[in-house]
Amino acid sequence: MAKAKTYYFCRECGYQSSGWLGRCPECGKWNTFDEEVVQSVAHATPQAKGRGQVASLPKRIQDVESNATQRWTTRCDELDRVLGGGIVPGSLLLLGGEPGIGKSTLLLQTALVMSHVRILYVSGEESEEQIKMRADRIAGTGKPEECYVVSETVMERIFEHIDAVKPQLVIVDSIQTVTTETVESGAGSISQIRECTTQLQRYAKESNVPVLLVGHITKDGTLAGPKVMEHIVDAVLQFEGDRNYGFRILRALKNRFGSTAEIGIFEMRGNGLCEVSNPSALLLSHRDEQLSGAAVAATLEGVRPMFVEVQSLVSSAVYGTPQRNANGFDMRRMNMLLAVLEKRCGFKLGAKDVFLNMAGGLRVSDPALDLAVACSILSSNVDIAVSPRYCFAAEVGLSGEVRPVSRIGSRVGEAARLGFERIFISKYDTRNLGNERQGIEVVAVGVIEEAFRALFS
Ligand code: TYD
Ligand code: MG
């Protein structure tokens, strides 16, 4: 029996200490240390010591073969886009997301359509029958010939399955459920996650087989397990969206082989995830009625234009303290915009309840939303509708100035393409416009009052 040792690990950053500490010297968080029993590696199985360690010799950089072009397409444009063109052989990818968001569905669906590669799908959460049931539910997947599924949680046995199947792509759902015999603490503990991720990374690098991991997310939205896992893997993808709506956004938080600006958009349907190549058309509510409190923002997610309808409701506060609520938008930013409107436009919003919502349940963080948010609040306040054929793209500064935003050309171009009549932008942005302004009326404003006057008087 191997010698067992007890260590303490910081839940936040994975810092290891031989004794309990109240405050982590690495990340500074309080009360984050957990005790874990770790078996000494001296008696560990050969796998754990390093699977088939090959000595690699230093090479001159010009002699190293570049395999950048050899990406494997996942046959899903949205996923390929986020990955930077496909899966790089030998890479270790982590897919995070809240429970029930669709991580398993996305990966199983990918495994089913990638019929050109031999895939081993290891699930620690579902039995083979349950995986099959899910696969039956996902329609239109073609005919996977070599997609092997196995329900397994022990790392050593997963490597046996890998040796038997010799897959070209391995999927592990989820890293929190697998354990290695070399570490004694339970599944999902920091030392287990760290050790299993390291073993899989070693396997991926040595065999040139890409490995896709699913990772759970904690209550506060970070990937469960220490930050060290994010350092080990080559790319961290996050799957997010409101579970009550069908839309899902896939973002790259880190990508060693591509840009982190790209996003993929999916819709969860009864028969699996559907790619959404034209999100604007879906996110706009296509209303005919003139309703106050709605304004369309021309936002960009990464490099993709996405038009979102901002809805707000301003009403007199019944209770002493006015209620403020924002769905899909930063509350602090909303409070700042309310203060700007109060100071610059003279609206007494301090005594009003303000509710803000992004249609479609998506969380957008583009500063270009500001002008649409401000105009939608003003529209609800004065109870005059903003035409659904108008859209907005500008940031609002603290003194009420309307500021330029990135890539105004693609926003205006997309607005014209979608058939909007007018787009409100910052006057400092007009010089960045080329011939995109043809087919749409561009209204350039310098301060928020100008936008208000143009719309409501
Ligand atoms: P799942 O992939 O199990 O989520 P995760 O692995 O991230 O926890 O997704 C589960 C949800 O997706 C579940 O609530 C049911 C729904 N779903 C569909 O709407 N359509 C489908 O075709 C499938 C397979 C799941
Ligand atoms: Mg799952």
Instruction: Tell me whether residue 134 is in a domain.
Output: yes
Q: Whose CA is nearest to atom 8 of ligand 1?
A: 100
Q: Whose CA is nearest to atom 14 of ligand 1?
A: 100
Please tell me whether residues 430 and 311 are part of one structural domain. yes
Q: How confident is the model at residue 161 (pLDDT cuts 50, 70, 90)?
A: very high
pLDDT at 365: 83
Place of tokens 């990135």: 406
Residue 132: its H or E element: helix 128-137
Please tell me whether residues 286 and 270 are part of one structural domain. no
Instruction: Tell me whether residue 67 is in a domain.
Output: no
Ligand closest to CA 137: 1
CA 141 to centroid of ligand 2, rounded, Å: 19
Please tell me whether residues 209 and 357 are part of one structural domain. no
Atom index in ligand 1 nearest the CA of residue 268 equals 19
**Residue-level length of the chain:** 457
Please tell me whether residues 254 and 310 are part of one structural domain. no
Of 251, 277, 303, the one marking the end of a domain is: 277
> How many helices (H) and strands (E) would you count in the chain?
12, 21
What CATH number has the domain bearing residue 239?
Answer: 3.40.50.300
The preferred substitution site among 105, 136, 239 for testing ligand 1, maximizing ligand atoms within 8 Å of CB, is: 105
Ligand closest to CA 176: 2
Q: How confident is the model at residue 419 (pLDDT cuts 50, 70, 90)?
A: confident
Do 183 and 198 touch, CB atoms closer than 8 A? no
Cα–Cα distance measured from residue 359 to residue 214, given in angstroms and rounded to the nearest whole number: 29
- Spatial CA neighbour of 173 closest among 141, 212, 207: 212
Q: Whose CA is nearest to atom 13 of ligand 1?
A: 100
Atom index in ligand 1 nearest the CA of residue 125 equals 6
Q: How many CB atoms lie within 10 A of CB 58?
A: 5
Please tell me whether residues 446 and 297 are part of one structural domain. yes
Q: How confident is the model at residue 301 (pLDDT cuts 50, 70, 90)?
A: confident
| Residue 248 confidence (pLDDT) above 60 | yes
CA 92 to centroid of ligand 2, rounded, Å: 18
- Find all residues with CB under 8 Å of 447, minimum gap 6, and list them: 344, 400, 401, 402
CA 125 to centroid of ligand 2, rounded, Å: 7
Q: How confident is the model at residue 287 (pLDDT cuts 50, 70, 90)?
A: low
Q: Whose CA is nearest to atom 2 of ligand 1?
A: 102
CA 47 to centroid of ligand 1, rounded, Å: 34
What is the amino acid identity at position 89? P
Please tell me whether residues 231 and 356 are part of one structural domain. no
Please tell me whether residues 156 and 223 are part of one structural domain. yes
Atom index in ligand 1 nearest the CA of residue 99 equals 8
Number of domains forming the structure of the chain: 3
Cα–Cα distance measured from residue 199 to residue 197, given in angstroms and rounded to the nearest whole number: 5
Q: Rounded to a whole number, what is the largest CA-CA distance in the chain?
A: 83
Q: How confident is the model at residue 27 (pLDDT cuts 50, 70, 90)?
A: confident
Q: Whose CA is nearest to atom 12 of ligand 1?
A: 102
Of 255, 277, 299, the one marking the end of a domain is: 277
Do 111 and 211 touch, CB atoms closer than 8 A? no
User: CA 414: distance to chain centroid?
Assistant: 23
What is the rounded average pLDDT of the residues 430-446?
88
Q: How confident is the model at residue 99 (pLDDT cuts 50, 70, 90)?
A: confident
CA 102 to centroid of ligand 1, rounded, Å: 5
Instruction: Tell me whether residue 64 is in a domain.
Output: no
Atom index in ligand 1 nearest the CA of residue 98 equals 7
CA 273 to centroid of ligand 1, rounded, Å: 9
| Residue 317 confidence (pLDDT) above 80 | yes
CA 292 to centroid of ligand 1, rounded, Å: 36
Instruction: Tell me whether residue 312 is in a domain.
Output: yes
Coil vs helix vs strand at 223 = strand
Please tell me whether residues 250 and 291 are part of one structural domain. no
For the ranges 8-17, 43-52, 172-181, 350-359, the lowest mean pLDDT is seen at 43-52
What is the rounded average pLDDT of the residues 412-437?
89
Q: Whose CA is nearest to atom 10 of ligand 1?
A: 100
Coil vs helix vs strand at 153 = coil
What CATH number has the domain bearing residue 432?
Answer: 3.30.230.10
What is the rounded average pLDDT of the residues 227-249?
85
Cα–Cα distance measured from residue 40 to residue 1, given in angstroms and rounded to the nearest whole number: 10
pLDDT in tens, 30-76: 988 888 877 655 544 544 445 555 567 888 888 877 765 678 888 88
If you average pLDDT over every residue of the chain, what do you get?
Answer: 86
Instruction: Tell me whether residue 223 is in a domain.
Output: yes
Q: How confident is the model at residue 285 (pLDDT cuts 50, 70, 90)?
A: low
CA 329 to centroid of ligand 2, rounded, Å: 27
- Which percentage of the chain shows pLDDT scores above 90? 46
Please tell me whether residues 273 and 296 are part of one structural domain. no
pLDDT in tens, 191-227: 888 899 999 999 999 999 999 999 987 766 666 666 7
Please tell me whether residues 306 and 331 are part of one structural domain. yes
Please tell me whether residues 8 and 27 are part of one structural domain. yes
pLDDT in tens, 328-379: 899 999 999 999 999 888 888 888 999 999 887 777 888 999 999 999 999 9
Please tell me whether residues 152 and 140 are part of one structural domain. yes
Residues having CB within 6 Å of any atom of ligand 1: 97, 99-105, 134, 137-138, 268, 270-272
Instruction: Tell me whether residue 65 is in a domain.
Output: no
What is the rounded average pLDDT of the residues 105-132?
92
Write out the residue range of the structural domain in which residue 18 sits.
4-39
Atom index in ligand 1 nearest the CA of residue 97 equals 7
- Which percentage of the chain shows pLDDT scores above 70? 90
H helices of 146-270, where?
Answer: 155-165, 190-207, 227-232
The preferred substitution site among 110, 123, 242, 268 for testing ligand 1, maximizing ligand atoms within 8 Å of CB, is: 268
Of 277, 299, 318, the one marking the end of a domain is: 277
Instruction: Tell me whether residue 91 is in a domain.
Output: yes
Ligand closest to CA 271: 1
pLDDT at 48: 46
Instruction: Tell me whether residue 107 is in a domain.
Output: yes
Place of tokens 């209303």: 287
